[in-house]
Amino acid sequence: MNESKNSVLKNPTEQTLDESTTTSFDHVIINANIATFSAQHGFGIDIGSDANEHADSIPYGQLLNAAIGIKSGKVAWIGTQNQITAHLPKYQASQITDVDDKWITPGLIDCHTHIVYGGNRSNEFEARLQGVSYQDIAAQGGGIVATVSATRAASIESLFAQSEKRLIALMKEGVTSIEIKSGYGLDLDTERKMLTVARQLGEKHDIHVSTTYLAAHALPTEYKDHADDYIEQVCEWLPILHSEGLVDAVDGFCENIAFSTEQIRRVFEVARSLDLPVKLHSEQLSDIGGSALVAEYKGLSSDHLEHLSEEDIKKMAASNTVAVILPGAFYTLRDTKLPPIEALRKHHVPMAISTDCNPGTSPLTSLLLAMNMGCTLFYLTPEEVLAGSTVYAAQALGLPNKGKVEVGCDADLALWDIARPADLAYQMGLNPIQGIMVQGQWRERM
Ligand SMILES: [Zn+2]
């Protein structure tokens, strides 16, 4: 370990804590165990390149028996319980939360979702299990076509109501930031409707929503055999929706059954001209170079990745692109090809994990279960899946002030009744949430 790192880890929380500092806190959380996921507190899965250096990191960047001072919605101070105790008598009870040795993590971040859609496809799920083939279901107007039809037909109020249930389910498991994609409209009006609902969900529930334009998701039936013409429309709609404030990032589905790298490149060129970050559904079913394309555009993330090559992993590492791992789709499709986790580790590509909540391949509204699947199916560690739904999920959304408990970051927190952080990835179906805080305000105390 080198000198500078040693000094960082030795006393990462040393700050002046006098009367003037403490009286400026709006709120103080005491008696907490904190998984900070902050490098300032020793979190360092990806620090350095040799094993010895890795061994010096502190698991989860954890701080035991600690306290947090919050001011104007931000973390203003973190330190030990002893440091803050002398200053507590002057606080009103309403300004103090005694969490009684429970655990605090950053609020969870679901960085890849399609939660806004109309209808559902449980009828197809049942038919398939009764022996009906995918081909027959598709021939009867099933599959993504069914979701596009239901989403186009839904009023904005109905679409909001249907989607809100899924958002609430995620929030009840500690999610304080979420990414929501369009991509079931495949026409201008419905793509707009989906992104508008995504914005409305964020406003009503007062949590962070990052919107993603995914018109290049599938070829609508009216463009059958005219994919290039459809991509031209996708490129024309993007500046319109962006000018309406509806687009934070741009995505596509790069696959033999969807769009080629050349078609996606045309969409990315428009995104670049608008200064919008890109991401991509890549290498889920085959390796056609989607991740290399994302890396070329210095994209935020490349997602799915079961068929990703080591050569393209190196490109992702060089462009600091996050690998978003989606075990819900792997599980639902009964896939057997594992994403190249070991190679991603070797090249220090940050890994995020997400529900990929969608009506076809991942009807999953539990980020905790996605974490468990990440460990059980993909051999990720509990620390990796928790980092993947906090600090690296924030990176996948371009949100440097979220996903860690660190001075200056947003006070977005989740409070858990657990013995240790690994419980969050270990248990299935038991929800140990006690509350979420968003920008310094307790939003739910369950
Ligand atoms: Zn997806």
- pLDDT the model gives residue 445: 62
Q: How far is the CA of 176 from the centre of ligand 1 (A)?
A: 19
What is the Å distance from ligand 1's center to 193 Cα? 19
User: Does residue 446 surpass a pLDDT of 60?
Assistant: no
- What pLDDT is stored for residue 50 in this prediction? 52
Taking residues 249-272, what's their average pLDDT?
Answer: 96
User: Ligand 1: distance of its center to the CA of 355 in Å?
Assistant: 9
**C-alpha–C-alpha distance, residues 26 and 445, integer Å:** 18
Q: pLDDT tens-digit profile of 408-432?
A: 999 999 999 999 999 999 999 999 9
pLDDT score of 133? 87
pLDDT score at 252: 97
pLDDT at 310: 96
Greater pLDDT, 139 or 66: 66
Check residues 216 and 86 and name the one with the higher pLDDT. Answer: 216
CATH of domain 108-396: 3.20.20.140
For range 329-336, the mean pLDDT = 94
Give residue 165 CA to ligand 1 midpoint distance, Å. Answer: 19
270-276: long-range contacts (C-beta < 8 A, 24 or more apart)? Answer: 270/235, 270/238, 270/239, 271/238, 271/297, 272/297, 274/238, 274/239, 274/242, 276/238, 276/242, 276/247, 276/248, 276/249, 276/250
The predicted structure's pLDDT at residue 4: 38
Adjacent-strand bridge partners of 358: 362
Q: Say if domain 1-106+404-446 classifies as CATH 2.30.40.10.
A: yes
Work out the pLDDT band at 54, boundaries 50, 70, 90: low
Residues written for the chain: 446
Strand order in the sheet with 351-353: 279-282, 301-304, 322-325, 351-353
pLDDT of residue 15: 60
Q: How far is the CA of 328 from the centre of ligand 1 (A)?
A: 10
Q: What percent of the chain is modeled with pLDDT above 70? A: 93
- What's the rounded mean pLDDT across residues 298-305? 97
Residue 311 Cα to ligand 1 midpoint, Å, equals: 23
Q: Ligand 1 centroid to 112 CA: how many Å?
A: 6
- Range name among 26-30, 142-146, 186-190 with the lowest pLDDT average: 142-146
Average pLDDT for 25-31? 96
Domain ranges for the chain? 1-106+404-446, 108-396
Distance 324 CA to ligand 1 centre (A): 10
Cα 23 to middle of ligand 1, angstroms:
46
> Lowest-pLDDT range, 129-143, 199-213, 364-378, 408-422?
129-143
Q: Say how many Å lie between the CA of residue 211 and the centre of ligand 1.
A: 13
CA neighbours closer than 13 Å in the CB half-sphere of residue 260 = 5
In the reported structure, the alpha carbon of residue 214 is separated from the centroid of ligand 1 by a whole-number distance in angstroms of: 9
Ligand 1 centroid from CA 215, angstroms: 12
* Ligand 1 mean position, distance from CA 356 (Å): 5
CA of 106 to the centre of ligand 1 (A): 24
Residue 282: what residue type? S
Q: What's the 113 CA to ligand 1 centre distance in angstroms?
A: 6
- Between residues 252 and 93, which one has the greater pLDDT? 252
| Cα separation of the two ends of the chain | 43
Q: In a 3-state reduction of DSSP, which class is residue 13? A: coil
Mean pLDDT calculated for residue range 28-44: 95
Q: Once rounded to an integer, what is the mean pLDDT over residues 294-306? A: 97
| pLDDT tens digits for range 118-173 | 999 999 999 999 999 878 888 888 899 999 999 999 999 999 999 999 999 999 99
How far apart are the C-alpha atoms of 220 and 148, rounded to whole Å?
8
Q: Is 329 helix (H, G, I), strand (E, B) or coil?
A: helix
